[in-house]
Amino acid sequence: ALVSMRQMLDHAAENDYGIPAFNVNNLEQVRAIMTAASDTDSPVILQASAGARKYAGAPFLRHLILAAVEEFPHLPIAMHQDHGTSPAVCQRSIQLGFSSVMMDGSLMEDGKTPSSYEYNVDVTRRTVEMAHACGVSVEGELGCLGSLETGEAGEEDGIGADVILTHDQMLTDPEEAADFVKKTQVDALAIACGTSHGAYKFTRPPTGDILAIDRIKEINRRIPNTHLVMHGSSSVPQDWLAVINEFGGAIPETYGVPVEQIQEGIKNGVRKVNIDTDLRLASTGAIRRFMAENQAEFDPRKYLSKTVDAMADICRARYEAFNAAGQA
Ligand code: G3H
Ligand code: 13P
Ligand code: NA
Ligand code: ZN
């Protein structure tokens, strides 16, 4: 059934687990996530970005998610809009039937320029007023995502990897977070703690606390009743990078967030874990391998079903690792 994100994250907080929120753009991604969730009996967050709406079209996306609700009536599903750039964008998603929206006021409406704190409070507070009147939950964001190793912002909807952030900008301030939550009444807060969007997070194999775990702890102590969200949480599986490069790809050496670091976050209040890149890498690897090994094949169902299997493996592993398995 379609449920509000708040309800789902409250349950995760009461039972100390995290929920992976996977980005969806097409049928294969939805089917992979739902198969894995059904196999592991996990709650599901399907999230759609502006790019997803542009690719699939809002009605197709909406009906793909509603099809998941229909085919898997035993699983709780949140239909979440990822990275809304204005209250108006969030309002349209609410009208489309989304049960949750993200108002990312950490950036201006162009999705590129970092905003002022006052602007962020204003657009987020207005979105919460509107959304809560409709029973829809809201995720806000405070801080600039960026790799603590490289200082690079990654691909935050238009922010190029050439933007270099200071150490301070890349960590959400606990006091500011408390003020932000008080003023906006958001249900969940995306924090900056050393993750960044995309495949290029770290240039060397990450060891130890590559994320600012102490900062997550401080934020969680200051706002214990706000569910924390970790964006840029792909682990960038080295086995899929190897498959991609073995079969004609050329992805340079790169590393993501180790699953163990995400588990540390979950121990300290992180309840929603955003993952997109890992499923992109798995499907690209699966297609490249199938194409190379089956050169006479031309039925898209043959190679697309390989992408479903590859993505579902990752989804199952994340549901298990975040202790969402068995919680549906
Ligand atoms: O936050 C970014 C997500 O990975 C969505 O990416 O805007 O290319 O759909 P996208
Ligand atoms: P990744 O690029 O690490 O998968 O992060 C996705 C994300 O945060 C979507 O909002
Ligand atoms: Na941000
Ligand atoms: Zn994100």
Domain locations along the chain:
5-321
Q: Which atom of ligand 2 is nearest to the CA of 278?
A: 4
Ligand 3 midpoint to CA 44 (Å): 24
Ligand 4 midpoint to CA 29 (Å): 17
Per annotation, catalytic residue among 10, 39, 41, 82: 82
Q: Are 152 and 164 in contact (CB under 8 A)?
A: yes
The pLDDT tens digits along the chain (328 residues) read: 999 999 999 999 999 999 999 999 999 999 999 999 999 999 999 999 999 999 999 999 999 999 999 999 999 999 999 999 999 999 999 999 999 999 999 999 998 888 999 999 999 999 999 999 999 999 999 998 988 888 888 764 444 445 678 888 889 999 999 999 999 999 999 999 999 999 999 999 999 999 999 999 999 999 999 999 999 999 999 999 999 999 999 999 999 999 999 999 999 999 999 999 999 999 999 999 999 999 999 999 999 999 999 999 999 999 999 999 999 9
User: Would the CB of 249 count as within 6 Å of ligand 1?
Assistant: no
Q: Domain 5-321: which CATH class?
A: alpha beta
Q: Which helix (H) or strand (E) holds 101?
A: strand 100-103
Q: Give yes or no: 82 in active site.
A: yes
Binding residues: 83, 104, 141, 197-198, 231-234, 274-277
User: Would the CB of 196 count as within 6 Å of ligand 2?
Assistant: no
Q: Which atom of ligand 1 is nearest to the CA of 25?
A: 9
User: Would the CB of 157 count as within 6 Å of ligand 1?
Assistant: yes
Pocket test for ligand 2, best of 147, 277, 279, 283 (most atoms within 8 A of CB): 277
User: Would the CB of 20 count as within 6 Å of ligand 2?
Assistant: no
Distances (CA, A) of 295 to 262, 288, 321: 39, 11, 36
How far is residue 282's CA from residue 244's CA, in Å, rounded to a whole number? Answer: 9
Q: Which atom of ligand 2 is nearest to the CA of 276?
A: 4
Cα three-residue angle 26-152-259, rounded to 5 degrees: 60
ipTM: 0.95
Ligand 3 midpoint to CA 144 (Å): 4
How far is residue 316's CA from residue 313's CA, in Å, rounded to a whole number? Answer: 5
Give the other-Cβ count within 10 Å of 68's Cβ. 22
User: Would the CB of 141 count as within 6 Å of ligand 2?
Assistant: no
**pTM confidence score:** 0.97
320, burial (CB in 10 Å: exposed 0-12, middle 13-18, buried 19+): middle
Pocket test for ligand 1, best of 29, 55, 197 (most atoms within 8 A of CB): 197
Q: Which atom of ligand 2 is nearest to the CA of 201?
A: 3
Ligand 2 midpoint to CA 259 (Å): 14
Ligand 1 midpoint to CA 157 (Å): 6
User: Would the CB of 234 count as within 6 Å of ligand 2?
Assistant: yes
With H, G, I as helix, E, B as strand and everything else as coil, classify residue 58: helix
